[in-house]
Amino acid sequence: MSNNKIIEAFKDFDFSPFYLLALSVGTILYSCGNSIRIIYGTGSFTRRPSFLQATEENQEEITGKTAVVMLLTSSIMLLILYYVLNSIILFLKCILAVSSIVSVAFVVYDWVYLFFNQFYSFSQKILSIITFLFSIFISGLWFFTEHWLPTNLMSFCLCVSGICLIKINRYQIVLITAVGFLIYDVWWVFLSPVVFGDSVMVEAATKIAPHIPAMFTIPKKVTNPYLVYLFTPDLFSESFESYVDVMNSMIGCGDIIIPGIVLDFFLRFDTLYKTSLFNASFIGYVVGVALSWIMVKVMKKGQPALLWIFPSVLIPATICAKYQKVLKILWKRGTVTNVDENGNGDEDNFENEENETNVRRIEENNHLIISSLRNQNEEPRDVSIVADDENDIHLNISLEPNEDEEIKTENENRNNDSNNVDGNLNRTDSINNNEDENNDSDIELQDI
């Protein structure tokens, strides 16, 4: 079969899901590896300019409250894009064009460092200038052309920055975030038509795809397996809307950043405890993305990708943790441990710090409890801090004397009574002796 026949056979086949799967998987792998390098200083290039080091040090930890705020903010932004995108598109593009310069520089600096240092050892200042000029060029190119190549590059940099700078350190927060965004995705994709008449997520994605770097997109003409149309002039001359298949050829950055933060948590846990949770969760992510695209083909409409991704990620990772006997550590400690210079977790320091914190907290509340009891005319007789196990430290207050005290008190009373009796007997003997001596003296006087 000739090459022309092969091309003709695959001409109508949609390869975009495979390209997008490779983009999403590659983005997560690069982001998680970059995150480990930033935290533990691993890798061949760790020297970064001060402005990037300051960015790395300002990492944001997701807590329960933060997760709720993220869900509310995402919902509000989605409604704004759904209703008034056309009115604010220019303003939104200006903000993104300026703010994305730092995101692009955060990612591109390593590439600039590796590329230019092959030819000459440039100073850090010169590399920083080159990085900023390139970032400004990419941002400006996207702003004026809205072409899919700079759009995807900016989306990639946004995903990498989000995964590297936003952290989850507790497995409980992983579950809260996963369940929350799963419900969020299902609501705005499947259930929002009941209230708004349209799928808010699908409509907003359709509107913002040509304008905002919030997703990866692949043109229809790039579905050819040989990429013969990738750099043809007509591809660059056509408008964005004419060659983007919204239903089959895009994946949102949220479907990469949120699962990527979870996978980054598992990778950091693996680094601390020498487990393999990341491998299980990463395979699950690939399966989840594939399932979401299969369901798009089956149901002929957009899918909430997180509905398929999060179960595929969390279930294998949890089973793996149970099999490797680290589920208790994963649940109670997560990645909140001290780390030495080799990147190994210092569990003893963590336990000591946790116990000291609990004891200090109890001691601070001790005087409040005792004051409350005294106000009720109940004097506490015994106050102690009791540790049932390493994670259960509580305050023990006894209002009545315990059994040991009663026995001790009874013995002391008996000893006192015995001492009193012995003292009385001694005094009686002394008196009798005195009387005998007096009688003897009288007898002697009578004899005289």
- Per-10-residue mean pLDDT of the chain, 448 residues long, equals 57 73 91 77 55 64 90 91 84 89 88 79 83 93 87 91 91 94 92 88 80 78 47 44 48 91 94 92 94 86 88 95 92 72 44 51 58 55 50 51 53 58 52 51 41
Provide the number of structural domains found in the chain: 3
Look at residue 238 in the predicted model and tell me its pLDDT.
43
Look at residue 226 in the predicted model and tell me its pLDDT.
44
Look at residue 225 in the predicted model and tell me its pLDDT.
44
Are 168 and 62 spatial neighbours (Cβ–Cβ below 8 Å)? yes
Reported as half-sphere exposure (CB side, CA atoms, 13 A), residue 427 has a value of 6
Within a domain: residue 208?
Answer: yes
Residues 292 and 354 in one domain: no
Range of the domain at 246: 14-336
Residues 290 and 424 in one domain: no
- The counts of H helices and E strands in the chain are 16, 8
Residues 294 and 219 in one domain: yes
Distance CA 354, CA 388 (A): 15
Within a domain: residue 1?
Answer: no
Residue 394 in 3-state DSSP? strand
Report which of 271, 211, 251 is spatially closest to residue 39, judged by C-alpha positions: 271
- How many CB atoms are located within 10 Å of the residue 41 CB? 10
Residues 98 and 64 in one domain: yes
Distance CA 67, CA 176 (A): 7
Within a domain: residue 85?
Answer: yes
What are the beta bridge partners of residue 389?
A: 392
Residues 445 and 361 in one domain: no
Look at residue 16 in the predicted model and tell me its pLDDT.
74
Residues 363 and 233 in one domain: no
Length of the chain counted residue by residue: 448
Residues 194 and 121 in one domain: yes
Residues 291 and 417 in one domain: no
Within a domain: residue 8?
Answer: no
Rg (CA), the chain: 37
Report which of 305, 289, 400, 367 is spatially closest to residue 24, judged by C-alpha positions: 289
Q: Residue 18: enclosing H or E segment and its boundaries?
A: helix 16-40
Helices (H), 324-383: 327-332, 347-375
Are 154 and 99 spatial neighbours (Cβ–Cβ below 8 Å)? no
Residues 362 and 304 in one domain: no
Within a domain: residue 3?
Answer: no
Distance CA 381, CA 374 (A): 11
pTM of the predicted model over 0.85:
no
Distance CA 174, CA 334 (A): 10
Report which of 188, 209, 212, 190 is spatially closest to residue 200, judged by C-alpha positions: 188
Residues 278 and 318 in one domain: yes
Within a domain: residue 341?
Answer: no
What is the token pair recorded at 174? Answer: 């992983």
Within a domain: residue 308?
Answer: yes
Rounded to 5 degrees, what are φ and ψ at 278?
-65, -40
Residues 322 and 426 in one domain: no
Within a domain: residue 377?
Answer: yes
The residue type found at 324 is: Q
Residue with tokens 């209002």: 399
Residues 190 and 43 in one domain: yes
Are 314 and 281 spatial neighbours (Cβ–Cβ below 8 Å)? yes
Helices (H), 238-336: 254-273, 277-299, 305-323, 327-332
